[in-house]
Amino acid sequence: MKRILFILTLAFVASSTWAQSLLVGDSNQDGSLTVADVTTSVDMILGRQPQTVIDLNPYRVDNSLVAGTWYIDTTPVTFNADGTTDYAGAAAFEFRPWKSTLILLDASDEIMKVYNILRLGTGKLTLQDSDGTTVSFSDTKGHEYVDLGLTSGTLWATTNMGATNPEDYGDYFAWGETSPKTYFGWDAYKYSNGSYDSLTKYCSHDFFGYNGFTDGLTELELADDAAYMNWGHKWRMPTSAQLEELSNQCTWTYTTINGVNGNLGVGPNGNSIFLPAAGSIDENGASEIGEIGIYKSSTRSPNSPDQTLLIFMSFNPSPCIVYSKRNDGSPIRPVRNTQQ
């Protein structure tokens, strides 16, 4: 079987409501991309709806709606816009939205699998095999998040990195390091030559830099963002501004959930988030675990390059933004935004 894959190029009429719907793929504007939306969009492409799309070849195959990195549990699966994928081995795929099917082809371009698309929604792809077996993909490695109704639209993960439940402490990370560990002395810190005044990255003052090193960087680059590197491209460590927004816009209560102390924050929309009192770990060992919560941001202190900004939570339910040494270990609560 000779297979030809096309990249669908759409031209939109900016003033048309239909064109705006097709642009986002959400024909009924309910905030979710469904098979019905896909069918409606394709109907428009094929001329069965008021013509708002021009210069289209009705036989083109549109793979763009599934192209990207998806996850089965935590295993990444790539669907590339050119029609190749690593799903089910070295295969190619054809996405045929007007038939609600996704077809996998082997190296000889022969059909290997045909899946019915049960759901293609925001961050969710559910397929059904011919034997009735379903497989679900997520665009976020399956990590859950909560919308607290914050002004910025920031979505907060419901667990710490390395945790299974909201009340679990999870893993501890030094600032700018992407792997958890248990010892947090300066001599084990990635971006130091053994002391607080020998920094090799994220330094704006020559006193703190190794041999006078400075680079002026104040925000973690993605390669040094533990959330991005471990949870995928939609996740980040929170900035200091996001921590401050969380602190100011939620109503906080120090409480105990399943035997674990922590701070419960209720957002403007009534949804809540629990940050366990996981304490921290420095070069001398664990400190105040079960008593306070310390969660680092991706933002370095503007005045002291050896420190980072973090949110501090204690028996006083009102959290505050303070500074802490970069090499100290603390949990990370990742964020994502509504545009990711």
Q: What is the pLDDT along the chain (340 residues), one digit of tens a residue?
A: 333 222 222 222 222 222 222 323 444 444 444 445 554 444 444 433 333 322 333 445 667 778 888 888 778 888 888 889 988 887 899 888 767 889 999 888 899 989 988 877 656 788 888 888 888 887 777 788 999 999 999 999 999 999 989 999 999 999 999 999 999 999 999 999 999 999 999 999 999 999 999 999 999 999 999 998 888 878 999 999 999 999 999 999 999 999 999 999 999 999 999 999 999 999 999 999 999 999 999 999 988 988 888 778 877 777 888 888 999 999 999 999 765 5
pLDDT at residue number 57: 38
Burial class (CB in 10 A: 0-12, 13-18, 19+), 168: middle
110 and 43 belong to one structural domain: yes
238 and 286 belong to one structural domain: yes
110 and 226 belong to one structural domain: no
Whether pTM exceeds 0.75: no
149 and 285 belong to one structural domain: yes
* Spatial distance between the Cα atoms of 41 and 43, rounded to a whole number of angstroms: 5
pLDDT at residue number 185: 96
Show the domain range for 298: 145-336
pLDDT at residue number 190: 96
106 and 18 belong to one structural domain: yes
The domain boundary, picked from 104, 124, 139, lies at: 139
Torsion of CA 324, 328, 334, 335, to 10 degrees: 20
Tell me how many domains the chain contains. 2
Backbone dihedral angles phi then psi of residue 321, each to the nearest 5 degrees: -95, 120
* Spatial distance between the Cα atoms of 128 and 205, rounded to a whole number of angstroms: 58
The domain boundary, picked from 99, 115, 139, lies at: 139
183 and 331 belong to one structural domain: yes
55 and 118 belong to one structural domain: yes
CA distances from 187 to 115, 278, 287 (A): 53, 24, 19
pLDDT at residue number 122: 58
